[in-house]
Structures are given as structure tokens and as C-alpha cells.
Chain A
Amino acid sequence: MKWKKSVRIRRELWGAPGWVNKHNRTWAYSSTTVSLSSSVSVSSRVRMMMGKQKHRRQYSLWIRPQEKSEVGENLLGMINILATRHNTEAFDPHVTLLSVFEIEDDDLEVSDTMSEGTRFSQDEVSPRTPPFPLPFLPSLAHN
């Protein structure tokens, strides 16, 4: 392969190995290729790779009884008991005022979110979870 300017990234960062031509806005990475040193900012690279990307987050509106109230404590107690008995998760007692809705999240546009002071280091990169979806990822799946 002739990649003059390949960039080495930890394989775990994106979840699959592969080489890519940087000049075509794709990237190179494999299990043996570099790695972002801990002193290198990823933000500029990520910006170069991704540009801006919209995200949507899911929210709900809740109404909760006051935690210190008798009703609130009784309900929480019941929820905990039932969750334990049925081996499932407990949760805060609440009445859902509006169930799941999505809000466009401008703050997660990559270039806005990652301030100059925000850096990935190898230690900070999750070994399993990509920090955000990569639009070109499918093209990287081939070795």
C-alpha cells in the first residue's frame, strides 16, 4: 500500500482496523498503527475528519414527589423492594409528564464541543466506544 501520510490511530478508537488515504478524507488505522500520543490533540484531527455533525439526544419530563416526603419515601421503598424481588433496576419514583422526545444538540457539533483545552489522550479514549459516529466508517471496514 502506498500511503504517504497515513496517520496511526489506536485500533480501539474506532473499533475496526483499516488503512485509508488521508487525502481522500479517510484515515488509516490498524491494530499496529499509531497512535495518538498523549500529548497530541485529537480535536483538530477529528475536525478535519468529520466536520460538523448534528446529534440528537433523548429527554423526558418528569414530576417527582419530594424526596423527604412520606409519599416519596414510601414509593421509593416500594420500588426498591420490587426491583430486588424481581432482579431488575430500581429508579426514582416519578410521573412522566412527557415521554421521550429528541432535541437537536448543537453543542455536540464536534468543532464546538471540543474546546482547545479538550484533548484526548490514549488513556482517555474508551477502548470500546467511539466518541461519535464516523460517517465514512463503512468504507474503512476493508483491509
Chain B
Amino acid sequence: MRFDRLRVDQSVEDSLSGVASSSRPFDIVLGPPECGSSFWQCVFLLCPLQRNAELVRLHDAVRRCLVADPKVEVSLANKTYMPHLSLLYSDLVGGERESARGEAEELLRGQAGGDARCGSFQVGEFELYETPMGGTNTTKAWRRVRGYPLRGQGAQV
């Protein structure tokens, strides 16, 4: 059986396109590796809030528009946005997590000439991914739906 579709509701498309068209490209600054307590936040690079104001602003904008859409249900696990770039999804426990964090730090040092920070990268778009969770810790069903290029000029909205 085929479901020949990879699109979402038009109102959602319009909302996200609207946010993207009024947001300008920016940089994301990455911090050193850290480890968390959940499967999905085992080892990650935290994006410090004070150095990623544009990212937080974009998060607020897409969140506002989706919350306002009656066809969308936004239920964030964390009420406070904690931007990060995951390096490892795993259910390691205790010291194993810290050990994995140390491995990530070593890898970063090897790549960045002794600096355990990854630096930054430029953001030109955000992307919609279908990420069925289904209570399982797997990424196999995740797939890209489409991208939304940031086309804004001048000051951020």
C-alpha cells in the first residue's frame, strides 16, 4: 500500500513559510560536550542561550504560530527551550555517560586542534521532519518533509 503524500496541512505550511520569510540567516554557536539524563540527551553540544539569541527568537516564532493553529498540538517536554546538538542517543547510565562525553571531547579536540568546542555554523533554513516516536527509541522512521529557507532582510522580527 502506498500513501503518496509527504505534505502537511496547508495552514501549517503557510505559517512556517511566513516565519521563514521574515527571519534572516544567522549563526548557531556550539558549546563543549555535555551529558544529560535521558536517552535523547545522552551526549550533546549545548548552544548557550546568551550567544544564540537569534535561534531562541526563531524558536519562539515557530512555536507561537504552531500553538495558534488548531490542527497542531504542541506539547513540549521542556517548557524552557534548551537548544543543543546531540552527538549520541543512548541509554547509558551514570559514569558511562560521563565517559561518552569525554570521548566526544577527545574527538572534538582532535578535529579542532586542541579546542573542545565545535565553533559555529550558519543557518540558512529550518526543516520539517516527520519524527514518529511511538514510544520507541529509534530514529529509523524519521524523514525529511521539506525545508523553509530564511529569506528575511534587515532586523529580525
Contact = CB atoms under 8 A, between A and B. Distances in A.
B37 to A, nearest CB: 16
Interface string A64-99: 111001011011011101110110110101111111
B108 A71 contact: no
A118 B145 CA distance: 22
A57 B89 contact: no
B138 interface: yes
Contacts of B126: 61-63, 97
Given A61-B62, A82-B103, A89-B138, A71 B119 contact: yes
B28 to A, nearest CB: 6
A61 B129 contact: yes
Interface in B45-96: 47, 55, 58-59, 62-63, 66, 71-78, 83-90, 92
Given A64-B127, A66-B121, A95-B85, A59 B9 contact: no
By size class, the interface of chain A is 35 or more
Contact of B130 (A59, A72, A79): A59
Interface in A114-143: 118, 120, 124-126, 131
A65 B88 contact: no
Contacts of A58: 130-133
Contacts of A107: 3, 5, 7
Q: Chain B: interface secondary structure?
A: mixed
A120 B1 CA distance: 6
A86 B90 contact: yes
B65 to A, nearest CB: 10
Nearest to A90: B139
Given A78-B107, A94-B85, A59 B8 contact: yes
B28 A86 contact: no
Contacts of A95: 28, 47, 55, 83-85
Interface of A: 56-66, 69, 71-72, 74-75, 77-79, 81-83, 85-86, 88-89, 91, 93-108, 113, 118, 120, 124-126, 131
